[in-house]
Amino acid sequence: MRFLLRRLLYSVVVLIGVLIVVFALVHVVPGDPVRIALGTRYTPEAYQALRSASGLDRPLIEQFFSYAGHALTGDLGVSFRNGEPVTATLLERLPASVSLAVVGMLIALIIALPAGIFAALHRGRIGDGIVRVASQSGVSVPDFWMGILLIGLFASTLGWLPTSGYRPFLQDPGGWLRHVVLPGLTVGLVAGAIMTRYVRSAVLDVAEAGHVRTARSKGLAPVVITSRHIVRNALVPILTITGIQLATILGGVIVVEVVFAWPGLGRLTYTAVAARDYPLIQGAVLLIAALFLLINLAVDVLYAVVDPRIRLS
């Protein structure tokens, strides 16, 4: 319990810091959000009315405490762009981001775990070289270019999959699967290439440890040595990179979401920044930070489950 409470306390402190930093940075960005929101409907009266309704005519310190107080109750304000509650808008976009993150991480793990373990166990051989070249190529190729290549192959040439759009899973599971494959594959290939290198490095570090040499000297089967003594002890760094990649995808892979017209948090944040929509920017960044902290907390708990020495220390 002390372990969990410490992690929760750290998360709360970080979230407060994020709230302060985001609020400050948003207000130093050039441009008048009220003027941009009104567009061609601008009149001095409408300008003053919207500025007063949004609280931007009050001192910054008063605006901050008012926003923080409402945020604690789940009220993140109203969007300047469309007049809808920010909380409702974020919750509406969250399922799309979760769908993309789950599919992308499944693909990444399917690629990274066997490839990284294989490369580490065949260090210096041709198989290791092929995996290293392939992973380096995956890291080097921009995700938007990867997405365009996949669209050209599976959508334009073969005609198997749609190029863009989204279908809710509960309403249309088949349509959801057809639409999520290409963006999920784009995200998964890039994340898998990154994770393969970390898995290989983690397995190599453990494979040279003393307890592994002892297991080999006892004549244990290679499969037993790999599963029980190598992979299990390499899980901590693997969990770290998995958590980072999952949080990154959940936070919004902006370029991929724009290429595939995917209605996730990344694309929403992009449009909010372009429109200088203060409440939506603050709410989106706050939610993304909360997702990062939640995943980090889950990874910390898994550390303690995988390796009791972490919990005891």
Using an 8 Å Cβ cutoff, are 191 and 104 in contact?
yes
CB 8 within 8 A of CB 300: no
Whole-angstrom distance, CA of residue 226 vs CA of residue 210 = 14
Q: Name which of 265, 259, 103 is nearest 180 in CA terms.
A: 103
Q: For residue 39, what pLDDT is reported?
A: 67
Q: In the chain, how long is the greatest CA-to-CA distance?
A: 85
Nearest to 175 by CA among 162, 187, 156, 184: 162
230-to-107, 112, 136, 286 alpha-carbon distances in Å: 23, 16, 24, 38
Distance CA 71, CA 69 (A): 5
Rounded-to-10 torsion of CA 281, 108, 140, 126: 170
pLDDT at 311: 60
- State residue 106's pLDDT score: 93
CA 144 to chain centre: 16
Q: Report d(CA 214, CA 228) in Å as an integer.
A: 13
**Predicted confidence pLDDT, tens digits, the chain (313 residues):** 777 788 888 888 888 888 888 888 777 766 666 676 666 677 777 777 777 776 777 777 887 888 788 888 888 888 877 778 888 999 988 888 889 999 999 999 999 999 999 998 888 889 889 999 999 888 888 888 888 888 888 888 888 888 888 888 888 888 889 989 999 999 999 899 999 999 998 888 887 777 777 877 777 777 777 777 787 788 888 888 888 888 888 876 788 888 888 888 888 888 888 777 888 888 888 888 888 888 888 888 887 777 766 665 5
Distance (Å, whole) CA 260 – CA 165 = 7
pLDDT at 31: 66
Helix H, strand E, coil C: the string for the chain is CHHHHHHHHHHHHHHHHHHHHHHHHHHHCCCCHHHHHHHHHCCHHHHHHHHHHCCCCCCHHHHHHHHHHHHHCCCCCECCCCCCEHHHHHHHHHHHHHHHHHHHHHHHHHHHHHHHHHHHHCCCCHHHHHHHHHHHHHHHCCHHHHHHHHHHHHHHHCCCCCCCCCCCCCCCHHHHHHHHHHHHHHHHHHHHHHHHHHHHHHHHHHHCCHHHHHHHHCCCCHHHHHHHHHHHHHHHHHHHHHHHHHHHHHHCCHHHHHHCCCCCHHHHHHHHHHCCCHHHHHHHHHHHHHHHHHHHHHHHHHHHHHCHHHHHC
